[in-house]
Amino acid sequence: MEFEHDYQQKVMTQRFVSPTTLDSAAAVQSWRSQWMKELSSWHSPYKVLVDCRELAIGPQPEVVKALDLMIKFFNGFFLRKVVGFGYRADAGLEQLPFPVLITAEDAAVELGIRAPKDRVATDFRSTIQLQNHFQQHSIELSFSEPVLISTKEQVQTLRSKLMNNLMQWHSKWSLIIDCANLEVAPEVTADIERLMTVLRGFFMKQAVGYSPKGAKESYPFPVFRARHRAVAEIEGEGNFSGDDANCRSRKP
């Protein structure tokens, strides 16, 4: 599953990224557990928009009971409303304890939010992934698919998602960028540099990348070949041999 949090609109978007059938209470419990982990960043009432295009519900009575219990459980944790989209007549979605409409637009209207969160795989925003490392005071940015940032609109989308994520932060932080799926066109270099300036105004200490897909010189921030070197840089350990296998910051 993928989760996206819009703290301004107070909407959590959930998406099943591959064909998924809930055919047992254990399967429902897995969904419930993943959802529960996402609540660690929420401290206010919220709504949920569920992308059900890859979801099917089995006919087992235990599944329906587990789904009902799951929604009742989250109602006790400030859940205000749930609406899904991607309805298909042969998927058993009518057994879900919340309405499932055909389009994301209709679901957004039913949910009462200002804009739909239709996370189509080809949408640039949906490829942006952010992971908060609060103990390490860093945010890790990666992309689920190969992307070329070449327009001001893409930079603005990246800025919007980063700024939304920053609502969880109340201390200084560093940005670590996984560049394995990222390329940057020369025409937007200045725009990304301006974005970095804006982020420094929101307590970002520095931004470093690793695993460059393109030429290192094409990125408007320092880029290292390996992740552990980028982490060492933000930890103030400085540069060292890229062949050093004993760095304590190396990812397991």
Stretch 117-131: mean pLDDT: 70
User: What is the tens place of the pLDDT at every residue in 191-225?
Assistant: 999 999 999 999 999 999 999 998 888 999 999 98
User: What is the tens place of the pLDDT at every residue in 100-119?
Assistant: 999 888 898 888 875 544 44
What is the reported pLDDT for 105? 87
Q: Please say if the pLDDT value at position 238 is more than 50.
A: no
**Residue entry with tokens 């560093």:** 174
What is the reported pLDDT for 158? 94
Q: Please say if the pLDDT value at position 182 is more than 80.
A: yes
61 sits in which H/E element: helix 61-75
Length of the chain equals 252
What is the reported pLDDT for 126? 84
Identify the three-state secondary structure at position 213. Answer: coil
- Average the pLDDT over each of 19-23, 116-120, 158-162, 234-238 and give the range with the smallest value: 116-120
Q: Match domain 124-234 to its CATH number in 3.90.245.10, 3.40.50.970, 3.40.50.1860, 3.30.750.24.
A: 3.30.750.24
Q: Please say if the pLDDT value at position 245 is more than 80.
A: no
For the domain 2-111, what is the CATH code? 3.30.750.24
Q: Where would I find the beta strands (DSSP E) of the chain? A: 2-6, 11-15, 20-22, 46-51, 55-57, 79-85, 100-101, 128-133, 138-143, 147-149, 173-178, 182-184, 204-210, 223-224
Q: Which residues contact 88 (CB under 8 A, 6 or more apart)?
A: none
What is the reported pLDDT for 114? 59
User: What is the tens place of the pLDDT at every residue in 61-104?
Assistant: 999 999 999 999 999 888 999 999 999 989 999 999 999 999 88
Query: CATH topology of 2-111 equal to that of 124-234?
Result: yes
What is the reported pLDDT for 190? 94
Q: Tell me the pLDDT band of 251, cut-offs 50, 70 and 90.
A: very low
User: What is the tens place of the pLDDT at every residue in 6-28?
Assistant: 877 789 999 998 999 999 999 99
> For the chain, which residues make up each domain, given as ranges?
2-111, 124-234
